[in-house]
């Protein structure tokens, strides 16, 4: 009479260990995918509100709701007409003040060469100091205005899709006010949702193998 063979699957504990690993992996993926912590949201924002760092009036849109955008793509521009007028006036003022300093320097050197009185030389030197201070202040204004003009364009900080336009053409906006809402192209949440589903099925598969092997 033939002897019945008794089959036993080795490594039964491995099945329950893998089942436990996938169970906790599933919980971790669910948390990051559906209930992310503030730290995770900061690193992987679900939406990005883009704003200007200056005040101004919107002149032209370069995107519409639903458009896909790339990192660094121009989204919207502010009106530059008044900025340009102020910038040109500041540059002209700076050029005039620079010419005045050159003339004062020439006059001062001539005065010293011709042995003009100390009082007159002191007066010229004081005028030169004041003029240089005014020119430095004007140069600072020119640089600020140049930076302002360079900031009149708003660019996308990342790849994504335009979810909402938060202002309209010609509307006045303030510094820091949200203008465009972008859904960033970040696969972090999609990856974790997929991982949660796969881990869920893997948990039941290995748990089932453990039960069948006993």
Residue 214 has pLDDT above 80, yes or no: no
Q: What is the mean pLDDT of the chain?
A: 89
**Residue-wise pLDDT tens digits, 73-100:** 999 999 988 889 999 999 999 999 999 9
Please report the pLDDT score of residue 10 as a whole number: 53
* CATH number of the CATH domain containing 176: 2.40.50.100
Please check whether residues 116 and 135 belong to one and the same domain.
yes
Per mean pLDDT, which range of 3-12, 82-91, 166-175 is the poorest?
Answer: 3-12
Q: How far, in whole angstroms, is CA 159 from its chain's centroid?
A: 12
Where in the chain does DSSP place strands (E)? 48-51, 56-61, 68-69, 74-78, 153-155, 160-165, 172-173, 178-184
In a domain, 113, yes or no: yes
Q: Domain count for the chain, please give it.
A: 3
SS3 214: coil
Percent of the chain predicted with pLDDT > 90 = 64
Please check whether residues 94 and 115 belong to one and the same domain.
yes
In a domain, 1, yes or no: no
The answer to whether the beta carbons of residues 144 and 53 sit under 8 Å apart is no
> Predicted confidence band at 159 (pLDDT cuts at 50, 70, 90)?
very high
> Predicted confidence band at 12 (pLDDT cuts at 50, 70, 90)?
low
Please check whether residues 162 and 66 belong to one and the same domain.
yes
In a domain, 198, yes or no: yes
Please report the pLDDT score of residue 114 as a whole number: 84
Query: C-alpha distances in angstroms, 143 versus 78, 87, 90, 135, 152?
Result: 18, 9, 10, 12, 14
Which domain, by its residues, includes 171? 50-77+152-181
Q: What is the Cα–Cα distance from 25 to 202, expressed in whole angstroms?
A: 10
The answer to whether the beta carbons of residues 98 and 131 sit under 8 Å apart is no
In a domain, 204, yes or no: yes
Cβ count within 10 A of residue 152? 17
Please report the pLDDT score of residue 91 as a whole number: 94
**Residue-wise pLDDT tens digits, 30-75:** 999 899 999 998 888 889 999 999 999 999 999 999 999 999 999 9
* Total-model pTM: 0.65
Please check whether residues 18 and 60 belong to one and the same domain.
no
Domain boundary pick from 96, 129, 151: 151
In a domain, 14, yes or no: yes
Q: What is the Cα–Cα distance from 156 to 141, expressed in whole angstroms?
A: 28
Please check whether residues 84 and 25 belong to one and the same domain.
no
């Amino acid at each position: 009479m033939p002897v019945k063979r008794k089959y036993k699957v080795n490594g039964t504990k491995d099945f329950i260990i893998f089942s436990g690993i996938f169970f906790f992996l599933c919980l971790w993926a669910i948390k990051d995918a559906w209930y992310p912590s503030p730290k995770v949201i900061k690193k992987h924002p679900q939406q990005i509100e883009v704003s200007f760092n200056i005040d101004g009036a919107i002149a032209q849109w370069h995107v519409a709701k639903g458009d896909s955008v790339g990192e660094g793509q121009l989204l919207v521009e502010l009106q530059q007409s008044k900025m340009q007028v102020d910038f040109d006036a500041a540059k002209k003022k700076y050029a005039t003040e620079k010419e005045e300093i050159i003339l004062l320097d020439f006059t001062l050197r001539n005065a010293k060469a011709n042995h003009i009185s100390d009082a007159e030389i002191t007066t010229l030197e004081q005028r030169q100091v004041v003029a240089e201070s005014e020119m430095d202040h004007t140069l600072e204004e020119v640089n600020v205005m140049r930076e302002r003009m360079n900031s009149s364009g708003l660019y996308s900080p990342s790849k994504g899709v335009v979810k909402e336009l938060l202002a309209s053409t010609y509307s006045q906006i303030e510094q820091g006010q949200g203008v465009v809402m972008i859904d960033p192209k970040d696969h972090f949440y999609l990856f974790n949702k997929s991982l949660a589903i796969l881990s869920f099925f893997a948990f039941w598969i290995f748990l089932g193998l453990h039960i069948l092997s006993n």
